[in-house]
A and B are shown apart, each in its own frame.
Chain A
Amino acid sequence: MTIMHHPSATTLAAFASGTLDEARAVVVATHLSLCEACRGAVSGFEHLGGALLDATPPAQMSPGAMERTLERAMAASAGAEPAARHLVEAGLPAPIANYALGSWRRIGRGVQWRSVDVASDDAVRVFMLKAAPGTRLPRHRHTGTEWTCVFEGAFRHDLGRFGPGDFDEADENDEHNPVVEAGVPCICLVALQGGIQLQSWLGRLVQPLIRI
């Protein structure tokens, strides 16, 4: 797959520094699981973090901190901890499979919705959407950020075509009129930010389901 749309550098940096909220981080991680170039960029930002760490002035540690930590270390054997492994549901990007998923529910003509149980402290909700080929989604304006990662099928709007792996980082200034391509359904992961009075078509559709 050729990925045309990537998260912004600021977003990749925020992910690397661990300051992105979990809801948005899941969508970014989904893109990363499909995009080697952005994994490289995140690694670059982690090296930036390392360089800044090296240049940081040291703080005073409590007396005997090193000896106590070494004692705890000796109680375990070095290098003993195996790398973590994660089970992945077939056909799903690994970052999503990490969360409890609801079942698919029809929420409108040609559109299905599936909840993704992500803890979030910033009124951001995460869900999957599946839209039938040719579905024309009503024109909508974002009231908060709406980040989307496609993993099957494709849609188009005025900023281009968004196929598997593509990342759409829309904010409140964007107005879109997406159309799902012919062929296969478009399945994507969405992190939608919004309060009680969601204005967008998507907000109205999902509001009863997620009880924002």
Chain B
Amino acid sequence: MGDEIEGASAHDPAQWIVAIAARQDRAAFAALFEFYAPRVKTMLMRMGVGAATAEDVAQDTLLAVWRKAAQYDPQRAAASAWVYTIARNLRIDRLRRDNRSKLFTLYEIIEPEEPERPDGPLDAAQDEARVRVALAELPEEQVRVVELSFFEGRAHGDIAKLLDLPLGTVKSRLRLAMNRLRNLLGEPT
């Protein structure tokens, strides 16, 4: 892998997406697929999606990455966040029980077409670094609740059973963690 991408030896998914948009770079696609498809599949299975559907949605996510590559702006979003949102929208679309559901289109609607921060472009690398720092600063017990609730989409009651905690404790831990994360993630400076 990597013979077609300049400087592909390092793990740089943002550059891989850019390479797909620029020249339909197959090696960049292979690298992205090998990293993200298996992780999207794990995420979906943890959310309770069956293995076969999780596999399909993981493949479709990478297919959508190929198709939408030209829309990707590395200044605005880290590659991981961009892939995450594509997987999220495909999961919602795939698993909707009601054909009238338009939930997944809400995410396209609120996405502004141009970066609109008056004080210059977003620095996605900074956003990404801030998330990692925020996660590292969070107490372990809060990180666990965030993973179960936010990432795996489990109900508060399930989390209480799983961790053998009172429901109120789960809710307050989650609220503390999310408020803290919002403050750490939301500040532009």
Contacts and interface: CB of A to CB of B under 8 A. Distances in A.
Contacts of A48: 131, 134-135, 146, 150, 181, 185
Contacts of B108: 83-84, 86
A78 B70 contact: yes
A77 B127 CA distance: 31
Given A72-B63, A76-B66, A44 B38 contact: no
B116 interface: yes
Contacts of B110: 29, 32-33, 39, 42, 94-95
Contacts of B8: none
A9 B84 contact: no
B181 A66 contact: no
A59 B41 contact: yes
Contacts of B63: 69, 72-73
Nearest to B102: A98
A79 B151 contact: no
A29 B106 contact: yes
Contact of B80 (A13, A37, A39, A54): A54
Interface stretch (A14-22, A155-163, A203-211): A14-22
B80 A47 contact: yes
A90 interface: no
Binding site of B, secondary structure by majority: helix, strand, loop or mixed?
Answer: helix
A1 interface: no
A65 B153 contact: no
A69 B33 contact: yes
A81 interface: yes
A22 to B, nearest CB: 4
B100 A117 contact: yes
Interface in B81-136: 81-85, 87-89, 91-92, 96-98, 100-103, 105-110, 112-113, 116, 122, 124, 127-128, 130-132, 134-135
B181 to A, nearest CB: 6
Q: Indicate the member of B34, B43, B181, B182 with the most A CB atoms within 10 Å.
A: B182
B161 interface: no
B29 interface: yes
B186 A76 contact: no
A68 B67 CA distance: 15
22 contacts: A9-B181, A9-B182, A10-B174, A12-B178, A17-B88, A40-B188, A43-B81, A49-B151, A52-B150, A53-B36, A53-B83, A56-B43, A58-B42, A59-B45, A65-B58, A69-B37, A70-B30, A79-B20, A81-B68, A84-B105, A84-B108, A94-B109
Given A70-B26, A98-B105, A119-B100, A58 B39 contact: yes
Contacts of A22: 101-103, 106
B78 interface: yes
Interface string B139-160: 0000000110011010000000
